[in-house]
Homo-oligomer: A and B are copies of this chain.
Amino acid sequence: MTADVSAAWQAYQRMRVQLNGRINRELTRSTGLSEADFDILFFLEQSGESSVTSLALRCGLEWEKSRLSHQLRRMEQRGLVVKEAPGAVIRLTDRGREQIAAARACHEAAVRRYFGDVLNAEQLAALTAISDQVVARLTEDRHATRR
C-alpha cells in the first residue's frame, strides 16, 4: 500500500471515529437519543405523514431486517413510535415528534460546528465526490460478490 493511500486511510479513520463519536455523544447527552433512534425518527419525520411501512424504513435506511425489528421494539417500549397492524405501518408518537425536533437542532448544530464550518466549499465538493466514488465502487462490487 503506497504511502499516500496509507496516510489518507489513517487520517480518515481518525476523523471517522472521533467525529461520529463526538456527535453521537453530544446527541445522547442532550436528547437521550442514540444514533439509531435519530436515524429512525428522522426518516419518519421526513416522510410526509410521519408514518411509513417497515419495508420502506428498511430500504430507506439500508438496515438489516433484524436490526430494524429489534430497534423498533425498543423504541416502541420507550413510546417513541407505534406499530399499527402488526408488521405494517410505523407511526411517530407525539413524544417521538417532540424528541426528533429537539434532536434535529442539536444534530445540525454539531454537524455545522465540527464539519461544515471547518471546511471550505472546495473541500466540501471534494468530499462529496470522493464519497460518491467510493460508494459507487462498493455498489458495483455488491453484484460481483453475489448480493
Chain A interface (Cβ < 8 Å from any Cβ of B): 1-2, 4-5, 7-9, 11-12, 14-20, 22, 62, 108, 111-119, 121, 123-135, 137-138, 141
Q: How far is the CB of A116 from chain B (nearest CB, A)?
A: 4
Pairs A-B, 3 closest by C-beta atoms: A5-B116, A11-B131, A15-B131
Considering the chains assembled together, what is the distance between the CA atoms of A9 and B127 in angstroms?
9
Q: Is the CB of B1 within 8 A of A112?
A: yes
Q: Is the CB of A9 within 8 A of B115?
A: yes
Q: How far is the CB of A114 from chain B (nearest CB, A)?
A: 6
Known contacts A4-B121, A111-B1, A129-B123; decide if A116 and B9 are in contact (CB<8 Å). yes
Residue of B nearest to A61 (CB): B17
Instruction: State how many copies of this chain the complex holds.
Output: 2
Q: Is the CB of A127 within 8 A of B127?
A: yes
Report which of B5, B125, B137, B141 forms a contact with A111, defined as CB distance below 8 A.
B5
Considering the chains assembled together, what is the distance between the CA atoms of A123 and B11 in angstroms?
13
Q: How far is the CB of A14 from chain B (nearest CB, A)?
A: 5
Residue of B nearest to A108 (CB): B1
Q: Is the CB of B133 within 8 A of A130?
A: no
